[in-house]
Each structure stands twice: as structure tokens, then as C-alpha cells.
């Protein structure tokens, strides 16, 4: 996988309208790892794509009621089978971090890339997901050199007390060690 003009080659492109421009002269310096599944713990459906593209039928499941009118996105979504879906060009600001702070800087959406892993805080992620995440991360780090291993974190790290993902089931040690080999 390579990145050309902010697009991950080989990823399924599913453009979201839930993005805007980054502030001028803002470097991309942070990678944020998230998790998502809709309904929680259910995989291999299109509800996440529908949510990020503004097409979620909130009557399809009782847990979706709170998502009515929500406008969120991520740059990438990595399914359990390792399929990569891109919703927002890396050069643009996806709406994944919400109220957030990293190293004293607020509004992390301004200077970050957000990757959603299909999963939950408590279910192990698939080996294929990790391998794909590692490959994607290496490409992102090549294209955006201000993203170092020290500038990769979880949503829980930039929004503590508000967010818990990617959760204790995410193997940070394996992931980070794989990046520095």
C-alpha cells in the first residue's frame, strides 16, 4: 500500500462528507487509533460505513438511537478481515477525535490522522488487522514524517475520561515493536 495525494492506494474509497480543511500551515503530526463496531461487538456489516458517510438508518437497531444526527468520520477503517476503507483524504481533517489534547495541544483533528479498527475495547483484534495496521502505519509515517512512534496513541490518550478505545485488548507493545523493527 502506498499513499498518493492523500489517498491510500489499494483501500476501498468511500468518501464521507464529514470532514473539512485543516488549518493552514498545519503539519500532520499524530496518528490516533480507535475502535468501532455497530452494534457493539457485531462485525462484518456496513453500519460503520453508513455512519461515517451520513447514511446510518438509526431505526435499524435500538443502540443507534443516540447516533441520530451525529456527524463523525475517520480517515481509515480496518475491518477484522483486514479490508481497508478510506473515508477522508489524509490531507483533510476527519472528525474522529472530538474534544482532545495531545502534548498540550488541543483540537487533535487539526493535526492528526484517525484509524478505526473494527472491534471493541474487550475483544482481541485479529492478526490480519494488526498486520494491515502495521503496513498502513509504516506508509503513513513515510508520507508524514512528523508522525513517529511517540506520536501514535489511542483515543483514550487524547480524550481521557471521555473515551476508552482502542481498549485494553489492543496490543500496543506488539504494534509499536513491529514499527521500530
Domain encompassing residue 59: 3-179
Domains contained in the chain, number: 1
What is the per-residue pLDDT across 102-150, written as a single tens digit (0 to 9) for each? 999 999 999 999 999 999 999 999 999 999 999 999 999 999 999 999 9
Whether the Cβ atoms of residue 60 and residue 100 lie closer than 8 Å to each other: no
Mean pLDDT of 57-66: 97
What is the per-residue pLDDT across 26-48, written as a single tens digit (0 to 9) for each? 999 999 999 999 999 999 899 99
The residues assigned a catalytic role are 116
46 contact partners, CB below 8 Å, separation of at least 6: none
Whether the Cβ atoms of residue 92 and residue 19 lie closer than 8 Å to each other: yes
User: In whole angstroms, what is the distance from residue 83 CA to residue 139 CA?
Assistant: 16
**pLDDT for residue 181 is more than 90:** no
CATH of the domain at 98: 3.40.80.10
Handedness of CA 73, 19, 7, 136 (dihedral sign): negative
The model scores a pTM over 0.75: yes
Cell of 22: 485543516
The three-state secondary structure class of 84 is strand
The three-state secondary structure class of 149 is helix
The three-state secondary structure class of 66 is helix
The percent of residues above 70 in pLDDT, for the chain, comes to 99
- How many CB atoms neighbour CB 101 within 10 A? 14
Q: What is the mean pLDDT of the chain?
A: 97
**pLDDT for residue 172 is more than 80:** yes
Residue 90 pLDDT: 98
Amino acid at each position: 500500500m502506498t499513499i498518493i495525494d492523500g489517498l491510500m492506494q489499494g483501500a476501498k474509497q468511500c468518501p464521507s462528507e464529514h470532514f473539512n480543511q485543516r488549518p493552514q500551515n498545519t503539519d500532520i503530526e499524530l496518528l490516533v487509533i480507535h475502535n468501532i463496531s455497530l452494534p457493539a461487538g457485531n462485525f462484518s456489516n456496513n453500519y460503520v460505513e453508513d455512519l461515517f458517510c451520513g447514511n446510518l438508518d438509526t431505526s435499524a437497531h435500538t443502540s443507534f438511537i443516540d447516533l441520530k444526527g451525529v456527524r463523525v468520520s475517520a480517515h481509515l477503517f480496518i475491518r477484522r478481515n483486514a479490508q481497508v476503507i478510506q473515508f477522508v483524504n489524509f490531507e483533510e481533517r476527519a472528525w474522529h477525535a472530538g474534544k482532545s489534547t495531545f502534548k498540550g495541544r488541543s483540537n487533535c483533528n487539526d493535526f492528526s490522522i484517525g484509524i478505526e479498527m473494527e472491534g471493541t475495547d474487550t475483544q482481541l483484534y485479529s492478526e490480519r488487522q494488526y498486520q494491515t495496521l502495521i503496513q498502513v502505519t509504516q506508509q503513513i509515517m513515510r508520507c508524514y514524517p512528523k508522525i513517529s512512534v511517540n506520536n501514535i496513541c489511542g483515543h483514550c490518550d487524547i480524550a481521557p475520561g471521555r473515551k476508552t478505545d482502542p481498549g485494553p485488548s489492543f496490543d500496543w507493545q506488539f504494534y509499536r515493536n513491529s514499527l521500530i523493527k
